Amino acid sequence: MEIKTFDGNIVETSVTKDYSDVSYAGTSNTINLFQIPSNCTIIDVNMMVDEAFVGNESNDCIASVNRDLITKKNVTNLKETDGVYLDLSENPYFVAPTQWSVSAELLGRRAFHGSCGTISAGLCVGGLGMSYLDTSEEFNGTSWSAGGSLLSPRSHCPACGTQSASLVVGGRNSGTAYLDTSEEYNGTSWSAGGTLTSRRRAPGAIGTQTAGASFGGRFNTTDWLASTEEYNGTSWSAGGDLNEEKDFIEGSGIQTAGLCIGGVLGSGETLNTTEEYDGSSWSLTGNTLLLTSRLASCGTTSSSIKAGGAMAGGVTNDCETFNGSIWSITTRLITERRNVSGFGTQTNCFCCGGYKTDGEYLTTTEEYSSSADLSNEWLQLTVESTGIGAWSSVLPMTIAKAYAAGSGTGQSTLNFGGDDGIPRGSTESFDGLTWGTESSMSTARYALGGCGTQYASLSCGGWTGSLSAVTEEYNGSSWSSGGALNTARYYTKASGTQTTSLCFGGYTTSSVSTTEEYNGTSWSAVSSLNSARGFHGGCGTQTSTLAIGGYLASAYTNTCEEYDGSVWTSGVNLDTTRWVMASVGDTSLAMFFGGAKEGIRTADSYEFDGLSWRAINSLNIARTTLVGTGSNNSAVSGGGNSSDGKTPYAERWDKAPAQNLSGLSAGSLTFNISYINYNS
């Protein structure tokens, strides 16, 4: 790890401790490892555990270190572990005399909004809740009250200025309707501001109502901006360009001395760059320690803070502070959140609203103060039982077929379409024990996408003998026509519900990256996958989807991507190339099973917790091109291709609750810690 300039001494220590006298109890247990001096940065922590540390083959355990001070870092199943299993060398975390506390809730749920002001006179405006919002809320240091309504509802709209003299810039008010308008607030009502030269979605903004600047953002579905525009209270004029075209950036400072923090490139790459503006040009300054976008920030060029946001592993509550040259980790938010906004200063900051991985828009807010004392905190190891899951055979389907699609839960499943030598429209339902025949789809096809529930399903695309764009909807008794896809394709995947779904990737004459959203009536094109892929796994909701492995332009892949309702970003890679697997879940908790591994049919099952993939109990029979429905706790696998060809074989996954670890005792543990002591 590269160590930048630090004003402190690096301390290294290695300790071996015998914890055999420590008895576990309950499903989660924490052990004190090392008492950290205050005002230190942990550089590296790695540990070695002996085979007796957990010592019970019936418990499926994971470990994490200091969720509050460091991060949750899941590791391999401890019952199988003997050696180095935890390494934080790429993620230094700062222990400082600061903390976040819960503050007054917003009046309504919102994310993708703007905010400005101070912690005693703040403003929150626009954004997304159940729809695009035109409302604003004012904070008086204690509670929120309704402010004036915008002239036009908008989201992805930064704000700058004060509570009584603020400016909101750009944004969007429908899927691809990006705005070039600005509005001004006088503490009572909003009025039209100057028109921007360029439409901007999710740009940055700094300054005041009469001396502001907006930079970067997205111009349309294919073009991102590096340009800056400066505002004089009446009109916008050109400023200096950023070094990169990007959106989902955050700004802090004023028109003549501002920062542009993080963001996302048009390729989908999340950034850790920081740029500084002097009123005429941008220059690169210290990189953030973490790759983050869709975050909150406030402060000045010499004293800023960033909080929360989106990372490759999903939503984060990580926070960093900037001293004018380098970023340092500070205390985390209580609640993970992205597409959040903030206002105030580095030492008195407010973070409000946002969006969680599970699709929940937040009303919660948090206040940051540098007055708390976290001296003598402990580095702690937590061992948890996650519960054991296993596959068991159930009655087979009525038809042996592959490349079908499915919807529903582990106890209430629908399986439809597929190939048994010819394209099929057949539909079968599963009640947790047996399969039953239901009404067939109007259009027989295979390699289609499917999502929804057993009584409200959606099928899209596939192969009928030629490429299909057909969409059909199931109401629990029969199928009816829905809106056609804009791009016909097969070997595709779908996620979400019947009325809010996503179709992503697939194959035409080659793999495609095309992504479309469905509103219950029609499909519309949205941000494409970063890599064209077909034959992949996929699961989730319209705003939290995971694309897993598959076939790219010319090779199979182990890469994954995550969709947040707006853009695809790189996810956590698989152990090796995999394709034609089944999958369930979303970007925070998912599972895939079966498929081809490096070209060989496999029964492997893997679980994803938003941070990493880990192997779990395998299927009983290796299969490719099978269907999966349900969740990590209860799932069904049906059909596919086995060693005997197309099969009706089905299995059910049931995961037991976390087990009580009482009676287990820990063994010995060796841990090496490197940290920087700022007290020396």
The secondary element (H helix, E strand) that includes residue 597 is: strand 596-597
Who contacts 409 (Cβ-Cβ below 8 Å, separation ≥6)?
453, 454, 629, 630, 631, 634
Contact 101, 367 (CB under 8 A): yes
Q: Please state, as a whole number, how many other Cβ atoms lie within 10 Å of the Cβ of residue 143.
A: 12
C-alpha span between 481 and 459 (Å, rounded): 10
C-alpha span between 444 and 635 (Å, rounded): 25
pTM of structure: 0.56
Is the CATH number of domain 389-655 2.120.10.80?
yes
Contact 196, 169 (CB under 8 A): yes
pLDDT score, position 75: 35
Q: What is the dihedral of CA 138, 144, 146, 150, to 10 degrees?
A: 40
Instruction: Compute φ and ψ for 50, nearest 5 degrees.
Output: -85, 170
pLDDT score, position 534: 97
Which of 33, 40, 34, 36 is closest to 94 using CA atoms?
40
**Strands of the 327-330 sheet, one edge to the other:** 296-299, 304-311, 314-322, 327-330
SS (H, E, C) 45-110: EEEEECCCCCCCCCCCEEEEECCCCCECCCCCCHHHCCEEEEECCCCCEEECCCEEEEECCCCCCC
CA atoms within 13 A on the CB side of 228: 28
Find where tokens 């009706």 sit: 648
Q: Report domain extents, the chain.
A: 9-92+662-677, 99-372, 389-655
* Number of residues written out for the chain: 680
C-alpha span between 161 and 205 (Å, rounded): 10
On the question of a common fold for 99-372 and 389-655, the answer reads yes
C-alpha span between 542 and 600 (Å, rounded): 32
What residue type is 479 in one-letter code?
W
Q: Please state, as a whole number, how many other Cβ atoms lie within 10 Å of the Cβ of residue 551.
A: 21
CB-count burial class (<10 Å; 0-12, 13-18, 19+) for 150: buried
Who contacts 477 (Cβ-Cβ below 8 Å, separation ≥6)?
438, 439
Widest distance between CA atoms in the chain: 75
Q: Which structure tokens are listed for 319?
A: 């926070």
Q: Which structure tokens are listed for 176?
A: 């691809």
C-alpha span between 479 and 472 (Å, rounded): 6
pLDDT tens, position by position, 510-528: 999 999 999 999 999 999 9
C-alpha span between 423 and 446 (Å, rounded): 6
Instruction: Compute φ and ψ for 49, nearest 5 degrees.
Output: -125, 140
pLDDT score, position 490: 98
Q: Which residues of the chain have pLDDT under 50?
A: 1-8, 43, 51-59, 66-97, 371-375, 676, 678-680
C-alpha span between 10 and 372 (Å, rounded): 25
pLDDT score, position 189: 97
Q: 511-518 and 523-526: which strand pairing?
A: antiparallel
Which of 304, 327, 341, 352 is closest to 202 using CA atoms?
341
pLDDT score, position 669: 59
Contact 504, 493 (CB under 8 A): yes
C-alpha span between 459 and 474 (Å, rounded): 8
Contact 209, 161 (CB under 8 A): yes
Q: Which structure tokens are listed for 654?
A: 């049931």
Domain 99-372 in CATH: superfamily? Kelch-type beta propeller (2.120.10.80)
DSSP at 80: G
Q: Which structure tokens are listed for 561?
A: 């991507």
Q: Which structure tokens are listed for 600?
A: 């060989």
Task: Give, in degrees to the nearest 5, the angle at Cα 544 between 542 and 546.
Answer: 105
Find where tokens 């008895």 sit: 23
C-alpha span between 157 and 177 (Å, rounded): 13
Q: What is the dihedral sign for C-alpha 90, 341, 526, 496?
A: positive
pLDDT score, position 329: 77
